[in-house]
Amino acid sequence: MAIPLLRDFDIRGKSVLVREDLNVPLEDGRVANSARIDAALPTIRHCMAAGARVTLVSHLGRPRPGERNPALSLKPVAKALGDALGCTVRLVDDWRNGAAVGSADVVLLENIRFEAGETTNDPALARRLAALCDVFVMDAFGTAHRAHASTVGVAEAAGAACAGPLLAAELHALGRVLDDPARPLVAVVGGAKVSTKLAVLESLAHVADSIIVGGGIANTFLLASGSQIGASLAEADQVDVARRIMTRIEVPMPVDVMTATAIDAVLPGRLRLRDEVGSDEMVLDIGPETARRLADQVAKAGTVLFNGPLGVFELDQFGEGTRVLAEAIASADAYSVAGGGDTLAAIEKYGVGEGISYQSTGGGAFLEYLAGETLPAVAALERRIVAPHRK
């Protein structure tokens, strides 16, 4: 994949418009988790150090198109950004006539989804955004799967466009997993439903050496293998899909599981052999022997992809499988890439982040890329290989 990169541009004294993913959780008017802000800082600092006039654009939440919802203002994000950068980050609400930005200044446009044409990739909005800059920098991997005015339209309308360091790092990490992985490649795919990750599972079945499944997805595979799963969450209509995948690639089934009759924080888990699940029980985690076997498998891997917990890890009695596997991934010599909100939450809960080679900031984009889909924002940059504003 060949795309223009920010490092190849001379941006001194120029206006740059940087699309970041600053869609962070807010609590009581403050940023509750700054992970996405932290991930964007290196790109912003690079532009500031290069002497560029920096304008940032991002969305927050899902306001109705054209509706300016005060609860979804980026004001708290501007404050958190300023604190992290050690400077004032001015929030600009009305930029129809431009946004005045001084040398080495940082300006943040108000929530781009307040603009009616954002999610429809309105050409007029894209041109307005392009008019704010000499160089457009797409750095928001988390929105690269959206063909919006601030991701695709402006990349096509701007005088020059390129990928920022964060986007480039995301593509490099995933390319290392999918295109030329150190073998064996072990993919860990958890989640509630096979149907939501069907394309990912089908794609990985062609590139991975084995797939470890967890959560409700694992229950569907257990059902496909002929095991009794009691009252567990599963998709009977995806059993044939699970069987097809199991004919293509190794999908290890648990030998023991943790069950309960309800998902309850105070209800203890019951250890069961795989074929001893009661009719009123739900499989909510793998058992200790299965966790040990999967940890041994991960320890021998050359590459590990981690996307989804193996159980209801939010409750400690059903989180041991996820903890053991997360610790095994972190301590393995393998190159490891993790992505997805629940996955990153589990990594944080068990304190294993330093052992993971790369943690992706993408959710939907992460899954679509794994499924082999073309990300519209990346495709737009590929079409901009000839860039007149390069050094």
Q: What is the pLDDT of residue 385?
A: 79
What does the pLDDT look like over 234-256, one tens digit per residue? 999 999 999 999 999 999 999 99
Asked if residues 95 and 86 have their Cβ atoms less than 8 Å apart, the reply is: no
Lowest mean per-residue pLDDT among 192-201, 238-247, 325-334, 373-382: 192-201
Residue 214: closest CA among 185, 244, 186, 188? 188
DSSP-derived letter for residue 358 is E
What's the mean pLDDT in 263-291? 95
Closest CA to 42 of 174, 169, 154: 169
341 is catalytic: yes
pLDDT category, 391, cuts 50, 70, 90? very low
Determine which helix (DSSP H) or strand (DSSP E) holds 125, and give its type and residue range: helix 123-130
**Buried (b) or exposed (e) across 201-238, using 16+ Cβ within 10 A?**
bebbbebbbbbbbbbbbbbbbbbbeebebbbbbbbeeb
The one catalytic residue among 82, 159, 302, 364: 364
Among 141-150, 194-203, 380-389, name the most confident range. 141-150
What pLDDT, on the 0 to 100 scale, is given for residue 387? 45
Strand, coil or helix: what is 289?
A: helix
| HEC readout, 171-235 | HHHHHHHHCCCCCCEEEEECCCCCHHHHHHHHHHHHHCCEEEECHHHHHHHHHHCCCCCCCCCCC
Q: Which pTM value belongs to this model?
A: 0.91
- The predicted structure's pLDDT at residue 13: 93
pLDDT of the residue at 96: 84
Q: Which of 142, 146, 121 is nearest to 376 (CA)?
A: 146
Asked about 193 being catalytic, the answer comes back as yes
List the catalytic residue out of 51, 66, 98, 341. Answer: 341
* Chain segment 70-128, per-residue pLDDT in tens: 999 999 999 999 999 999 999 999 998 888 887 778 999 999 999 999 999 999 999 99
Tens of pLDDT, residues 140-168: 999 999 999 999 999 999 999 999 999 99
The answer, yes or no, to whether residue 355 has pLDDT greater than 90, is: yes
In tens, the pLDDT along 19-55 reads 999 999 999 999 999 999 999 999 999 999 999 999 9
Summary count for the chain: helices (H), strands (E): 13, 16
Active site residue 287: no
Q: Which of 127, 176, 193, 349 is catalytic?
A: 193
Tokens of residue 60, six digits: 């927050």
φ and ψ of 27, to 5 deg: -140, 125
> Which residue type sits at 345?
A
Q: Which of 14, 19, 36, 53 is catalytic?
A: 36
Is 36 labeled as catalytic in the residue annotation?
yes
Q: Report percent pLDDT > 90 for the chain.
A: 92
pLDDT tens digits for range 306-344: 999 999 999 999 999 999 999 999 999 999 999 999 999
CA distance 303 to 337: 8
pLDDT of 386 > 70? The answer is no
389 has pLDDT over 80: no
Give the chain's end-to-end CA distance (angstroms, integer). 21
